[in-house]
Amino acid sequence: MRTTLLLAFNFPPHGGGIARWMGELALRYPPGSLVVSTGRHPGSAASDARFPQPIDHSPIRATRLRTLNGLLLWTARASQLVRRHRPGFAWCGELKPAGYPARWLRARYALPYGVVVHGTELLLLQAKMDRSRFRRWTARELLGGAAVIVANSRWTAEHARAVLAALDRPTLGGDVRVVPLGTDPAHFRPGIDPRPLRARLGLDGGPWLLTVSRLEWHKGIDTVIRALPAVRTAFPGTAPRYAVAGIGPHRARFEQLAAELGVGDAVRFLGFVPDDELPALYNAVDLYVGASRRVELLVEGFGISLLEASASGLAVVGGRSGGVPDAVREGETGILVEPGDPAAVAAGVTRLLSDAELRRRMGAAGRRAVETYYNWDRVASDLIRIDGEFRREPPPAAR
């Protein structure tokens, strides 16, 4: 297999779902068949050592790759990689800023490229296109110049096709591929002893509900808090509680909401939980709730934490919004509810908490789904196959 170039603004050790995806892809491409081009992060040297691929860093902080000077430096650096490695295809880990050097490489070296889209950026792009001719022209060049677009869910793919139609590029809509995401079933698994973590975090008793996410409004944390009084009323003897793992700008407002509703003592904000402790956390709770919804231009494009919970043997309650229905198999690995309706969330949670056998069956089905489909090996295999469809023979060096 000839070399592929991966242009990634988000790449380990940077956090977040996109960086995780790009890192997992780099781990699974055949050794020596991928070259990663990215910026510099604190800890990059230690992180790079675990990859079987060369990681080339532009000589500036990753955060500056979005600036004009940063884009010029990144493009020049990527051009050097193309001349050195003669790749036959390039992946853009995100539309912006990675699409800019990719579009230049296509014009300069006839290098075909694919763009990975995640959901929210398409909503932002649509809003900007309506207000700015320049934004519209830029989007047309970056998306319209791609050989293929990969979406993380059917919802994201539909929005990608809508954007392409608005840009007068509807024929490219046929090359929008859906590649649902995955997780690592060896890392996230049932049977991990949660007692040390429970003792340290104060997760005594139960039953416990869990959400793992940034503390943002569209994640639906407030809806779960609003649903909690009804859930606790339905189980007066056990008094279910709610744990939230993650950081973000709205913790104080969520804490205030819980206090106003009289469930302040039943909601535990755990803060940042390291990735190596998350498997034990999923094993420490009884039910996962991811009631994400669309809030203005923010939406859940897929929802990797739902898969982490499934891999850990948990049944899940997911919001019927964005790409979440691609992560939760309705009636099999969990149930979907209207995420903006606290009564609907309460009903879904109550149904699963009241039926231990149903939770067990859904948790087991979720585990099987991750082992057989929702895993990074399958995701990488899908992308390698798509890469093979669109790559060309290495182009001659530019004059």
DSSP structure string for 274-307: -GGGHHHHHHT-SEEEE----BTTB--SS-HHHH
User: Tell me, what's the pLDDT at 16?
Assistant: 80
Task: Please give the pLDDT value at position 207.
Answer: 95
How many residues in the chain? 399
C-alpha to C-alpha distance for 138 and 256, rounded to whole angstroms? 42
> pLDDT at position 234, please?
95
Q: What is the pLDDT of residue 27?
A: 95
Cα–Cα distance for residue pair 352/171, rounded to 1 Å: 44
pLDDT at 15: 75
* CB of 9 closer than 8 Å to CB of 94: yes
C-alpha distances in Å from residue 231, one per residue of 254, 309, 355: 18, 21, 14
Half-sphere exposure of 49 (CA within 13 A, CB side): 3
| DSSP character string of 2-34 | --EEEE-SS-TTS-SHHHHHHHHHHHHSPTTSE
Phi and psi (nearest 5°) for 247?
Answer: -120, 165
Q: What is the pLDDT of residue 216?
A: 93
φ, ψ of residue 235 in degrees (nearest 5): -130, 70
* Cβ atoms within 10 Å of 398's Cβ, excluding its own: 12
Instruction: Answer yes or no: pTM beyond 0.85.
Output: yes
Q: How far apart are CA 155 and CA 294, in angstroms?
A: 12
Quote the CA–CA distance of 35 and 29 in Å, as a whole number.
Answer: 10
pLDDT score, position 155? 94
Q: How far apart are CA 39 and CA 58, in angstroms?
A: 5
All structural domains of the chain, each given as residue ranges with its CATH number in brackets, are: 4-182+376-390 (3.40.50.2000), 195-372 (3.40.50.2000)
- Consecutive H or E run containing 232: helix 221-234
pLDDT in tens, the chain (399 residues): 579 999 999 999 987 889 999 999 999 999 989 999 999 888 888 898 999 999 999 888 888 888 999 999 999 999 999 999 999 999 999 999 999 999 999 999 999 999 999 988 998 888 888 888 888 888 888 988 899 999 999 999 999 999 998 888 877 756 899 999 999 999 999 999 999 999 999 998 889 999 999 999 999 999 999 999 999 999 988 899 999 999 999 999 999 999 999 999 999 999 999 989 999 999 999 999 999 999 988 889 999 999 999 999 999 999 999 999 999 999 999 999 999 999 999 999 999 999 999 999 999 999 999 999 999 999 999 999 999 999 886 545 543
- Among candidate residues 372, 299, 293, the one with its CA nearest the CA of residue 332: 372
> Do 351 and 335 meet the contact criterion of CB atoms below 8 Å apart?
yes
Pick from 46, 83, 42: nearest CA to 396:
83
Q: Cite the beta strand spans of 179-298 per DSSP E.
A: 208-212, 241-245, 267-271, 287-290
Helix (H, G, I), strand (E, B) or coil at 155: helix
Strand order of the β-sheet with 241-245 is: 267-271, 241-245, 208-212, 287-290, 316-319, 334-337
Residue whose token pair is 């139960």: 206
